[in-house]
Each structure stands twice: as C-alpha cells, then as structure tokens.
Amino acid sequence: MKFLKLVLVLLAIILIMSLAAVSAGYFRRNSAPLKSAVTTKESTAHSFDLQRYRLDSSQSKFIAHAMAGGLLWFKGHDHLVAIREFSGEAQLTSDQITPASLEITAKTGSMVETSSVFTDQQKQIIDKELREIVLQPDQYPDIVFRSTQVSGKKLSADQYDLNITGNLTLHGVTRQIIIPSKISSTGSDIRAVGEFSIDRSDFKVKATSAFHGLVRVRDKIKFTFDIVGHRV
C-alpha cells in the first residue's frame, strides 16, 4: 500500500508539472505576436502622419532687409537683398505639432539687391560689394539653417503657428536663432510666412558704408520670407 501511494503521488507531481509547462508555452506563443502587432501598428501610424515637403525657391520670396544707419543715415537708403537660390526640406505631422523639422540651404552667390530706389548701375555696384566685402561666396558659399526644436499650436485643420528653433550657420559662424512662422497647407503644398532678425556682428559679417563711414548698414538685419513647399 505504501508503495502504491508513493507511485500515485509521483504521477500527480509529473502531471502537474506537465500541465504547467504546456500552459507556459501556450502563453508565450500567443502573447508575443500581440505585442509585436501593437508595436507595428503604432510605428505605422507615426510614419503615416509625418509628411515631407521639398522647398521651392522659384515660387518663394526670401528677403534680407538692411537698414541705413550712421550719423548721416538719412542720406542713405535701405537695402532689400533677395536670396534667389535656396533648397531644403520641411517635415510636418498632419494631426499634431511634433515631430516636425526644417532644413534650408541658401546660396550666398545668389543674393542680389532688389530695392527700386537704386538704379541698375547702382545695383551692380552693391552686388559687387556684397560678393567682395559682405558675403564672400567663394569662401562661404552656403547659409545653412537646421532646426533642433519646433513648438507652437495648431490653429485649424490646415494652419499652424510655430516657433522653429535651430542653428544658423552664416559666414562660418553658427548661432542659435528662433524663427516664428505661420504655416498653412493646401492639398499637397505648404506655405510658410514670417520674419526674424539677426545681429550682423554675431556672425562677423562686414557692412558696406558711404560718405567716409557716416552712412553704413545697421547691425540688425531683418529677414522676411514667404516660402512654398511641395509634398514628396
């Protein structure tokens, strides 16, 4: 009898261990795919919402406003220098602010005077000074901005009010700036409108002058932009 009871106890232990092993294997087989499916679904949703746009300089305006300064500032004229060639990409999430980013590269050699107060001959002289004294495109061909943070609010289904923080590299010097922008989307295009200012001396950019230095460009330069991007 004792031997029979011992055998029954051992059989019971073996049966319990077998059931436990089968149950553990069942849960491992059925829980792992569920976790993977959830992760894949979330990743797909995030990648679907993020839209990429290529900037189009031919349909855009990007102007540097340089104001006359100095003791005889009233004898000078403000400059409107257009950036004719630039390229880049913007990324925007359709249903929320982030993730978002902006990268833009402007060609310094494409910057020209456009103010109507100057004659064509005067514009040629100003453009020559821009190349040789101010921008020096042979040495510094590109002006580059790369965003590091985007914040703001969504105003409607297709409008955003954003502050784009990032690093601006100009004349070989990199400084952090903030670019306030109003973004609107129409179909497969977006449009960014806004303005920002920099201090010329922060980037070691020289200024042109006249009347023996009594008329010169002020330190603060304002940029205005109306930029169009196409979805890619």
CATH of the domain at 64: 2.40.128.110
Beta strands in the chain (DSSP E): 50-69, 79-83, 86-93, 101-107, 111-113, 142-156, 159-170, 173-186, 189-199, 209-210, 215-231
Higher pLDDT among residues 207 and 183, named by residue: 183
Specify whether the CB–CB gap between 131 and 110 falls below 8 A: no
Residues 201, 98: Cα–Cα separation, whole Å: 33
Q: Which domain holds residue 168?
A: 49-231
Judge whether 35 lies within some domain: no
**Where residue 140 falls among pLDDT bands split at 50, 70, 90?**
very high
Q: What is the largest CA-CA distance in the chain?
A: 123
Task: Report residue 136's pLDDT band, with 50, 70 and 90 as the boundaries.
Answer: very high
Residue 70 lies in a domain: yes
- How many beta carbons lie within 10 A of that of residue 136, not counting itself? 17
Q: Does residue 63 sit within a domain?
A: yes
Better-scored residue on pLDDT, 39 or 167: 167
Does residue 40 sit within a domain?
no
Contacts of 52 (CB under 8 A, 6+ apart): 89, 90, 91, 231, 232
What does the alpha-carbon distance between residue 167 and residue 124 come to, in Å, rounded to a whole number? 32
In angstroms, the CA 126 to CA 115 distance is 11
Mean pLDDT (whole number) for 113-136: 89
- Could you tell me the pTM of the whole model? 0.73
Q: What does the pLDDT read at residue 68?
A: 65
Residue in the block written with tokens 């955003």: 160
**Does residue 116 belong to any structural domain of this protein?**
yes
Judge whether residue 46 has pLDDT over 80: no
For the chain, what is the domain count? 1
pLDDT at position 3: 45
**Nearest-angstrom CA–CA distance, 59 and 82:** 13
Q: Give residue-wise pLDDT tens across range 47-106.
A: 557 899 999 999 999 999 887 643 333 345 788 999 999 999 999 887 778 899 999 999
Q: Determine contact, residues 221/196, Cβ cutoff 8 Å.
A: no
15-24, 61-70, 72-81, 142-151: the lowest-pLDDT one: 15-24
28: in domain:
no
pLDDT for the residue 154: 87
Is 32 inside any structural domain?
no
Average pLDDT over every residue of 206-210: 59
- Cβ atoms of 123 and 113 within 8 Å: the answer is yes
Identify whether 82 is part of a domain.
yes
The helix or strand, by DSSP H or E, that contains position 123, with its residue range, turns out to be: helix 120-129
